[in-house]
Amino acid sequence: MDEAGRVKTVGELAALVGGRVSGDAHISIEYVASVGSAGVRAIAFVENRKALEDTQECSASALIVPDGAGERAREVAQKVPAIIEASKPKLAFALIGKILHLQKRREPLIHPTAVIAPSANIALTVYIGPHVSIGENSTIGTGTRIEASVVVGDDVTIGLNCVLQPSVTLYDGVTIGDNVVLHAGVCVGADGFGYVRDDVGYHKFPQIGTAVIEDDVELGAYTCVDRAALGQTRIGRGTKIDNLVHVGHNCDIGERVVIAAQTGISGSVIIEDDAVVGGQVGFGDHVRVQSGAVIGSKAGVLPGKIVRPGVWWGIPIQPLDEYKRLNAHIGRLPQMRAELKELRERIKELEEKLSSS
């Protein structure tokens, strides 16, 4: 282990996350793990007091627990020699994970199989892996790592300390900010899906805008962000997008937005800062999702819809309380069908009696 970067004492970790230690603060910690799998020199966490009951056999060297739960943790997790109390245990665990498990680093290198245009501006500390292609007038900032088979088009700007995993494709003219992570197969800047119909078929609407990925964004594997038809498609600072998400042309995704896998976003959708979008959500065009909105998985958002703050679900999308009421009614349909059948039979009997009398 690298003592400078990957081994810390319990006391050092607690100080870094604003936690309070009870027990042995001098124990060295090397890695993070779950409660069930943690061993010596590992640190684990529990998010609430109820979960403490599952720590009786925990063998970690340290355990992160909620504020005020330290005494109970010492009673239950007697094998654990050190406890860190933190206001947000899961967040503290994540921050410690970043400290103990440093991002993979590579020494500056340009692999001999890489093809780089003479006019490209490559910082001296960049790593460029096998079979990478970098186009004319593109700029790559200090500390950026570009893995195998990445394609960077002409006039592309990539910021500082970015990571482009294998087979990422950046079309001409796109901009990538600092500290951006693009996972395998990400495509930024492909043409948007814009066509105009006449009597004999479809004509492509110009797709001559750009795509901008701001600082601290992470895009999951095989996610696609289309360039704008005119203007720009934007992914805001600190936004995290899961695998297999499609962002259509001229979308404006705000800051610190979270979007889960297999979501499809049509053109000209605006998602404001701090919104949360579940998996497999489908957006029609020209939707606006306001800050504070949470959209549940598999929801369908009709074109032009304004999604206000709150929790939303269903197809078409509706407030969660309405969706739950509707689901309750749908669940009673078989019973209602049987009751309706019985009522029809009784009405038929009554009609027969009336006609015979």
Active site residues: 249
- Helical segments of the chain, H only: 10-17, 70-76, 89-100, 320-331, 333-356
124: amino acid identity, one letter: L
Instruction: List Cβ neighbours of 295 (8 Å cut-off, separation of 6 or more).
Output: 275, 276, 277, 278, 281, 289, 301, 307, 312, 313, 317
Q: State the CB neighbour count (10 A cutoff) for residue 127.
A: 19
Question: Residues with Cβ < 8 Å from 94, sequence gap 6 or more?
Answer: none
DSSP H or E stretch at residue 157: strand 157-158
Burial class from Cβ neighbours inside 10 Å (0-12, 13-18, 19+) for residue 279 reads middle
Q: Would you say the C-alpha torsion 235, 239, 243, 245 has a positive or negative sign?
A: negative
Residue 136 and residue 155 in contact, taking contact as beta carbons nearer than 8 Å: yes
Q: What amino acid occupies position 227?
A: R
